[in-house]
């Protein structure tokens, strides 16, 4: 070894203690949470709406109140949760997943509590609001306040889940959080798609309340899983901190592990109100909410003529909307990994897509009825599913507070949309023009973005000019070249209101009444028998009668021919307005002091009136499975009717016919509700007259019944035949009497029709060949 040579230093490795890993909650857990949560939210919304209709009335105003309260709760919850995260994140002792779990726990509790609150609200209004007139604004105010207080707190818990989920993702540094809103939104919408379909089968099998309880179990499962994951994560962090190296750097790093937000990525601050009002992204979010929900209202009227008024028809529209939204959000998630923006032309595409229903709703287009909805709705819904999460992601940059504010703005548009469409446009305009007006903002936005792109993007170019020209030409062709179903009915008399579009058409005995394009009734002697048969069977001289469902007004007119007071109730205000079209003496009939016509939900009127009637006639609108129609066939309805009947009064229920299970369910509900029921097949050999009473219904011959009619009533009964004398008319009915057990025997296992088990409305499974019967 030379003097100038230093000895080689030998480095002996020192064994290091391996640090325990902190395993983060996988993003797949969050996807699962929000899929199930989205499923439950739609399940609750659909059932709560129906339960509210049963308690407060089947009116457009009531439906709007329920939906607005639901959406308001979502918006308030989203905003409040964002504020909570922003202001108190550093001081919260509970982990983000624990907060999320508590929100899901509260949502689960709502499945049991909300039905009780709705029932209590009905009882309170019956006593406190007894002085309110049946159709008064005061009643809607009182009911609206109760519904808002009932639904908003629970729906706020639903709205809070996305900001809290984003908070949990942002708190985990191993997870990508900048696009977390679109990720959770995607899962939530996919769950909502399932929520439009699966609950229909659950309700058919178990009824409304048990289906709500199934939803509650799912919410509690989410809560339990989230709390378990939060506990596991906390234990792992504690073990990691206990075994950490005691050096300064590691100590600082370990100290930061418990923080909810990293100092390296500060959350963007929430803009002031003035800045928000000037923020174009927020205005676009508001517009997407307004137009999407407004369009849904218009689509329902536009496509009813093709898909009908069944619950499955509405589920089809909602399901297509949500499925297309999910696909659009999926495309956005893929697109956003490769592109920085959605492009300047996307808004022009939205404008054009919004007009496609004009084509698919045109009767001249040779297309299957059930394919018209997907073909017309999917493009617009998919584009909004693309741009909505994009706008929120860009506005929030992964911050729960800003995401909550952006989502709340979107929900505010969702609240306003149905009100604008249902009360501002459809009562005055053809559905086609209402659709164009709702789409018009996207034309303005599209032209603005096409012509005024921000730097450093290129200005208006030739390809963009050509594309804009093609879209404008196509949209003009859709607006001017298509026709609505109203234009396809020659000589149609049209009336519009917030509830429906009503059309009277035809000549002579071939006149027809259409509501939203669906034929409701025709001129038939059956409607005259509905009045005269129960009146002639009474043991006393009648004084008052009630007709639920006005229709063409024939039954109401026949009641008045007896010289008694008759009150007719119809949900759609425009229906009685066309009485003159079907009866030349309509003006004289309506001017009678005995005539009273009320625009209201028939069941709500019956439950809130204090009058006693000799005869109550119910003639529900077709088809037998129409959404909400079971509320006029259920045991609860008959219980309310019994209170309004005089001791020996008669309830006359018209049943147009249906499947075996529905027929048995209606008959069983009558048998369970009244001790005395008689059953007659109509003189046209279709449909059934059910006569029910608390006292024995007299057995009289046709001659005895004919003798009891006043001259004017006798003339009215045979006005349209098919027989020339009242005795012959009654004889044709009496010979068709059948025992009540006959319709019940069609399905011995059918439950009685109840508000909780609307057998007539939910029958998909029993009509399929693969389901066991």
Note whether 744 and 671 are within 8 A (CB).
Answer: yes
Mean pLDDT check: name the lowest of 133-137, 305-309, 588-592, 612-616.
133-137
Which residue do the tokens 């105003």 mark?
61
Task: State residue 98's pLDDT score.
Answer: 93
What pTM does this model have?
0.86
Residue 253: Cβ within 10 Å count: 12
CA distance 481 to 29: 50
Helix axes 96-128, 208-242, angle to 10 degrees: 150
**DSSP for residue 626:** B
Task: State the pLDDT confidence band at 253, using cuts at 50, 70 and 90.
Answer: very low
Rg (CA), the chain: 32
Which two tokens mark 211?
């289906």
Helix, strand, coil: what percent of the chain each, to 5?
60, 10, 30
Task: State the pLDDT confidence band at 256, using cuts at 50, 70 and 90.
Answer: very low
Which residue do the tokens 């010979």 mark?
735
Task: State residue 12's pLDDT score.
Answer: 40
Residue 16 has pLDDT above 60, yes or no: no
Which two tokens mark 380?
């617009």
Across the chain, mean pLDDT equals 87
DSSP string for residues in 278-325? T-HHHHHHHHHHHHHHHHHHHHHHHHHHHH-SBHHHHHHHHHHHHHHH
Task: State residue 171's pLDDT score.
Answer: 82
Count Cβ neighbours within 10 Å for each residue of 609-644 and write b for 16 or more, e otherwise. beeebbbbbbbbbbbbbbbbbbbbbbbbbbeebbeb
DSSP string for residues in 391-450? HHHHHHTT-HHHHHHHHHHHHHHHHHHHHIIIIIITTTS-HHHHHHHHHHHHHHHHHHHH
The residue ranking higher by pLDDT, 443 or 6, is: 443
Residue 590 has pLDDT above 60, yes or no: yes
Which two tokens mark 180?
């977390």
Distance of CA 110 to the CA centre of its chain: 18
Which residue do the tokens 């819904």 mark?
381
Mean pLDDT check: name the lowest of 276-285, 316-325, 436-445, 538-547.
276-285
What is the sign, positive or negative, of the torsion defined by CA atoms of 316, 318, 323, 324?
positive
Note whether 227 and 94 are within 8 A (CB).
Answer: no
């Amino acid at each position: 070894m030379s003097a100038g040579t230093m000895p080689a230093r030998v480095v002996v490795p020192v064994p290091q203690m391996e640090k325990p890993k902190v395993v983060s909650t996988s993003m797949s857990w969050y996807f699962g949470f929000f899929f199930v949560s989205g499923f439950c939210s739609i399940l609750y919304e659909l059932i709560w709406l129906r339960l509210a209709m049963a308690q407060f009335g089947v009116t457009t105003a009531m439906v709007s109140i329920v939906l607005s309260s639901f959406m308001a709760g979502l918006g308030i919850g989203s905003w409040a949760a964002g504020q909570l995260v922003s202001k108190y994140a550093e001081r919260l002792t509970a982990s983000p997943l624990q907060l999320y779990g508590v929100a899901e726990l509260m949502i689960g509790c709502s499945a049991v509590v909300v039905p009780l609150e709705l029932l209590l609200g009905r009882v309170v209004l019956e006593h406190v609001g007894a002085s309110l007139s049946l159709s008064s604004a005061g009643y809607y105010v009182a009911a609206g306040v109760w519904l808002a207080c009932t639904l908003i707190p629970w729906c706020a818990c639903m709205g809070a889940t996305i900001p809290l989920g984003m908070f949990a993702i942002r708190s985990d540094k191993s997870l990508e959080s900048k696009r977390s809103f679109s990720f959770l939104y995607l899962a939530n919408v996919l769950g909502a798609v399932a929520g439009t379909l699966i609950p229909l089968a659950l309700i058919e099998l178990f009824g409304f309340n048990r289906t709500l309880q199934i939803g509650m179990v799912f919410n509690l499962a989410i809560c339990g899983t989230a709390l378990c994951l939060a506990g596991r994560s906390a234990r792992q962090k504690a073990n990691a901190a206990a075994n950490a190296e005691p050096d300064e750097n590691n100590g600082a790093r370990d100290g930061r592990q418990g923080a909810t937000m990293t100092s390296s990525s500060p959350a963007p601050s929430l803009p002031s109100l003035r800045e928000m009002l000037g923020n174009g992204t927020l205005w676009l979010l508001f517009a997407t909410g307004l137009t999407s929900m407004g369009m849904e209202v218009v689509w329902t009227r536009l496509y009813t003529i093709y898909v009908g008024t069944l619950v499955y028809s509405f589920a089809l529209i909602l399901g297509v909307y949500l499925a297309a939204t999910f696909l659009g959000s999926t495309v956005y998630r893929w697109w956003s990994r490769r592109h920085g923006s959605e492009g300047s032309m996307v808004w022009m595409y939205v404008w054009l897509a919004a007009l496609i229903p004009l084509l698919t709703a045109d009767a001249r287009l040779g297309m299957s009825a059930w394919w018209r909805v997907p073909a017309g709705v999917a493009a617009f819904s998919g584009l909004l599913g693309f741009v909505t999460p994009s706008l929120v992601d860009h506005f929030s940059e992964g911050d729960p507070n800003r995401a909550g504010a952006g989502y709340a703005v979107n929900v505010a548009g969702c609240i306003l949309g149905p009100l604008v469409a249902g009360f501002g446009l459809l009562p005055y305009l053809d559905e086609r023009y209402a659709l164009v007006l709702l789409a018009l903002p996207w034309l303005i936005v599209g032209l603005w973005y096409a012509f005024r792109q921000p730097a450093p993007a290129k200005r208006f170019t030739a390809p963009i000019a050509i594309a804009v020209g093609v879209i404008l030409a196509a949209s003009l062709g859709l607006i001017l070249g298509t026709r609505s179903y109203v234009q396809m009915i020659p000589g149609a008399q049209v009336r519009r209101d917030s509830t429906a579009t009503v059309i009277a058409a035809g000549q002579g005995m071939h006149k027809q009444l259409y509501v939203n394009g669906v034929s409701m009734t025709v001129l038939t002697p059956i409607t005259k028998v509905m009045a005269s048969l129960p009146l002639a069977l009474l043991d006393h001289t009648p004084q008052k009668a009630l007709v639920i469902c006005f229709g063409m007004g024939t039954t109401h007119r026949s009641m008045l021919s007896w010289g008694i007071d008759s009150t007719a109730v119809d949900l759609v205000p425009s229906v009685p307005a066309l009485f003159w079209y079907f009866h030349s003496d309509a003006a004289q009939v309506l001017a009678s002091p005995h005539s009273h016509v009320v625009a209201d939900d028939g069941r709500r009127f019956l439950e809130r009136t204090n009058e006693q009637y000799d005869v109550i006639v119910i003639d529900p609108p077709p088809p037998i499975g129409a959404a909400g129609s079971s509320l006029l066939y259920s045991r609860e309805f008959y219980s309310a009717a019994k209170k309004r009947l005089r001791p020996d009064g008669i309830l006359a229920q018209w049943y147009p016919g249906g499947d075996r299970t529905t027929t048995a369910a209606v008959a069983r509900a009558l048998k369970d509700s009244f001790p005395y029921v008689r059953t007659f097949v109509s003189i046209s050999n279709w449909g059934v007259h059910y006569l029910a009473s608390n006292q024995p219904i007299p057995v009289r011959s046709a001659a005895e019944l004919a003798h009891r009619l006043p001259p004017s009533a006798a003339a009215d009964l045979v006005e349209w035949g098919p027989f020339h004398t009242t005795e012959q008319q009654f004889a044709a009915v009496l010979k068709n009497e059948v025992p009540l057990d006959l319709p019940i025997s069609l399905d011995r296992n059918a439950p009685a029709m109840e508000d909780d088990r609307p057998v007539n409305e939910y029958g998909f499974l029993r009509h399929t060949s693969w389901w066991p019967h």
